[in-house]
A and B are shown apart, each in its own frame.
Chain A
C-alpha cells in the first residue's frame, strides 16, 4: 500500500558528457524528465525536431519492411505468442546491429522497394490482361488491325452495337450508300457486346460506307494493335509470363530476407531509442559549456542515480524534496500478491495527490468477491492452472499481462475455496455422474451450505460482506482525513456516519423484516437497543448539523445536512448491490447443473457416455467463459462504484520514466 515517494533531481554537467549522461539515464530508466528552467540569455535549448523525426521515420520505415517480411516470409507464431513478451537480447548482438545499421537500413529499403516493384508488376499484368480481353473479339482477324489496304482498296474495322447478320448489314449499306459498289464486309465475331466487322472497299467509297454504317452506331475500335491480333495476344501472354516470373523472383528474394528479421527488429528499436533521446535533448537548457537537466526520481533510486552520475562524470547532482504544491507522478509499489491488482486500479485512475494507494486492501476484497461470484471448485482449479502454467511458461511476459494473470491465478484459488464451501464441482457433476453411470447417487458435501437450498442465507451473508467492504472504504476515508490532519472532517464525515449507520443496523436487526429474511430472530438486550437508538440519533443529528459546516447561513447549512442525511438511501442501494454475489454465484451453479442434466439425458449407454462428454466439454467451457466475464465485470463494479465511491477519486498521473522504450526486444544490461 504505497505510492512511491518522489524527489526532484537536478543535474548540471559539462556538455562534453551530454551524450554519455543521457544514455546512462536512459538505460537506468528511473527518472522522469521534467524541466523547471526555461530559456534565458545564458541557456538555450537546441532544436532537435529534425533529428528526432528522422529517427522516427527511420523506425517506421523498418517497421514497414518487417510487415512486408511477415507477408512473404511469415514467422511461425504459436497461439500464445502474445503472452511471450519481448525477447531478451544481449549487448553484443545489439552493438553489432548498431555497427551494421547502414547496411541493415539498406536492406529495409530494399525490402520495401521490392514490395513496390512487385505491386507494379502485378498492375502491369492486370493491364495486359485487360488488353487481351478487349482484343479477344478480333482474334479471328488475319491481318494487322491497322492494315491500311492495297493501292486501290482500304480496310477499316469497327463495331456495331448488338447482334447483326450479313443480310441486315447489306440492307443498311444498300439503303444509306446506294452508290457504293466494290466493297465486302466480314463479320469477325458477333455477340452480346456487339458485332465486330472488317470492311474492305474501294478507297473512294470508304467514307461513304463508314457514314452509312455509322448511322447504325458503328464505331472504330478504341484500342488498336499494329499486329495480327492472334500474334499480339501471344506476345502479351509471353509478357505476362515474364512479369509473373519476376514476381516469383521478387517473392523468393523477399523470402530470403526472412533470416534478417531479428536484426531489423533491433534496428527499429535502436531508432526508437535514439528518437526518444533526441526528444529529451531538445528540452535541455544549455549554455556554452554546460547543460542542465531536472526531473522526478523515486526516493529509493535517487541515491543510486546520484552516485552513478557523480562517480563517472564532472557534474553536480542535487536531490531535493518536492515543493508543497507540486504534483508528483505516481508509481505504485506493492507486495507480490497485491501488485497483481494494480492494473485494476490503474484502469480506474491512479491515486491523486494526497490519496492513499488502496491496492492492498482492494486486492484482498477483489480475490474474495471474485471467488464468491464464480464459486465452483473445478472452475477455480482450471483458471488457476491455466494462469499458473502461462506464468511459468512465459517468464518474459509483458508487465501488465503478468499482473493480470497473477490476479486471476489468485482469483482461481479463491474460486476453489468457495467451491468447496458451497459444494460445487462442475455444478453437481459428482451427483449426476454417479447417479447416471454408476446407479448410486454420491453427493459432494458442502463444507458450509449449498446456496441453492438456502438462497436467503447467502443473501444475508452477501450483504454482510458488502457492509464490511463499504465500512472498510469509509474507514480508509477516515485514515486519509487523519493523515492530512483534518480532524473535523474525520469526525463529521466518518465518525458520525459510522455512528448513524451502526445505530440503524442495530435497530434493524431485531425487526420482523430481518427475521423473515434471515429466518432467525435476533433479540438484543434492551441496553443494546437503547445504545443503537442513541447512536443513530446522535449520528443523524450530527450529520444534519455538521454536513454543511462550510456554510455561514444557518438555514442553508441545515438544508445541506438534510440532503447529506438523504445519502442513507445511497448506502442502502450500495448494500443491496452486493446481492449480485448471490445472483452470479447461483447462475454459475445452475447453468452447470443444466449442462450436466442435458448431458445425462441419454442415460447409461455408449451413446449416452459420448453425448455426456461432448455436452460436458462444450457446455462447461461456455459456462466458464461467460461466468468468468460476469465475475470480472461485476467484481470491478463493486470495487469501482461501491468501494471507491466511499473514499477514492483517483486522477493521478503515471510515472513515465525516460528509458529505452523498445518495441521488439529488451536489451540485457551489462
Chain B
C-alpha cells in the first residue's frame, strides 16, 4: 500500500466519465424511444426529433471534458504520471464528483423531459423552439456542476 494519490485521482476522472456518461446514455435512450415512435408515424419529423433526442447527450460530453482535464492534470496523458499525494488525489476525486453525480441524474431527467418535448413536436411541430427549452432547463444544473468541477480541478495545485 504505497501512495494511493494517483489512484484516487484516476478514480475521480473515471467517475466523472462513467457517471455522467451513464446519465446521458439513459437520457438519450429514453428520448430515443419517444423519437422512434414519432418517426414511425411521420418520418419527415426525423431531423427535429433527432435534435431533441441529442439534448440529454451533453452530460456525457461534460463528463468526458472533466475526465480529460483531470487526466492531463495528473499527467496520465501527455507525459508520465505525476507523483500525487493521497490528499491531493482525494481532492481531485471530490472535484470530479459534481459533474459525475449531477450528470447522472440530470441526464436521465433531461431524457424524460426531452421525451415529453418530442410529444410537443409530434403534435405541434411549429412549437419546436419552445419544446426545446424544457430539456434545456434541466441542463442548466449539469452546466453548473460542470463549472464547479472545472474550476475545482483546475484550481487544485498538483
Contacts and interface: CB of A to CB of B under 8 A. Distances in A.
Q: Do A and B bind each other?
A: yes
Interface of A: 344, 346-348, 452, 455-456, 459, 576-577, 579-580, 582-584, 586-587, 590-591, 593-594, 597, 626, 629-630, 633-634, 636-637, 640-641
8 contacts: A348-B129, A455-B154, A583-B62, A583-B146, A586-B150, A626-B57, A633-B132, A636-B132
A620 to B, nearest CB: 14
Contact of A633 (B55, B126, B127): B55
Nearest to B132: A633
Contacts of B69: 590
B58 interface: yes
A636 B57 CA distance: 18
Nearest to A623: B61
Interface stretch (B34-42, B86-94, B101-109, B136-144): B136-144
Closest 4 A/B residue pairs (Cβ): A347-B129, A637-B136, A580-B143, A590-B65
Interface string B115-158: 00000000000111110110011011001101100110010000
Contacts of A583: 62, 143, 146-147, 150
Nearest to B129: A347
Contacts of B137: 637, 641
Given A348-B130, A626-B58, A630-B58, A594 B51 contact: no
Interface in B63-93: 64-65, 68-69, 77-78
Chain B at the A interface: mostly helix, strand, loop or mixed? helix
Contacts of B126: 347
Contact of B130 (A347, A456, A459, A584): A347
A348 B62 CA distance: 28
A591 B54 contact: no
Contact of B136 (A346, A455, A594, A636): A636
Interface of B: 51, 54-55, 57-58, 61-62, 64-65, 68-69, 77-78, 126-130, 132-133, 136-137, 139-140, 143-144, 146-147, 150-151, 154
A597 B78 contact: yes
Contact of B51 (A346, A455, A577, A629): A629
B143 A626 contact: no
Contacts of A593: 68
A456 B154 CA distance: 10
Contacts of A637: 133, 136-137, 140
Given A576-B144, A590-B68, A590-B69, A347 B128 contact: yes
A586 B62 CA distance: 10
Contact of B151 (A455, A591, A634): A455
A643 B65 CA distance: 28
Contacts of A348: 129-130
A591 B133 contact: no
Contact of A591 (B64, B130, B139, B146): B64
Contacts of A594: 64, 68
A629 B150 contact: no
Given A344-B129, A587-B61, A591-B64, A579 B143 contact: yes
B65 A634 contact: no
B63 to A, nearest CB: 11
Given A629-B54, A630-B58, A634-B136, A459 B147 contact: yes
Contacts of A579: 143-144, 147
A591 B69 CA distance: 10
B74 to A, nearest CB: 15
Nearest to B151: A455
B61 A591 contact: yes
Nearest to A582: B147
Contacts of B68: 590, 593-594
A577 B54 contact: no
A492 to B, nearest CB: 30
A579 B149 CA distance: 13
Contacts of A576: 144
Nearest to A462: B147
Contacts of B57: 626
Given A583-B150, A587-B65, A633-B55, 5 more contacts: A346-B129, A580-B143, A583-B62, A587-B62, A590-B68
Contacts of A582: 147
B140 A580 contact: yes
Contacts of B78: 597
A629 B77 CA distance: 29
A480 B139 CA distance: 32
Contact of A577 (B62, B140, B146): B140
A597 B133 CA distance: 34
Contacts of B154: 452, 455
Nearest to B140: A577
Contact of B133 (A346, A630, A641): A641
Nearest to B62: A587
B151 to A, nearest CB: 6
Given A348-B130, A626-B61, A641-B133, A597 B143 contact: no
A621 B58 CA distance: 16
A633 B136 contact: yes
Given A587-B62, A590-B65, A594-B64, A459 B151 contact: yes
A344 B140 CA distance: 20
Contact of B77 (A586, A597, A633, A641): A597
Nearest to A456: B151
A59 B126 CA distance: 24
Max chain B Cβ within 10 angstroms of own Cβ: one of A582, A584, A590, A593: A590
Contacts of A580: 140, 143
A82 to B, nearest CB: 10
Nearest to B153: A455
B110 to A, nearest CB: 11
Max chain B Cβ within 10 angstroms of own Cβ: one of A456, A576, A586, A640: A586
Nearest to B128: A347
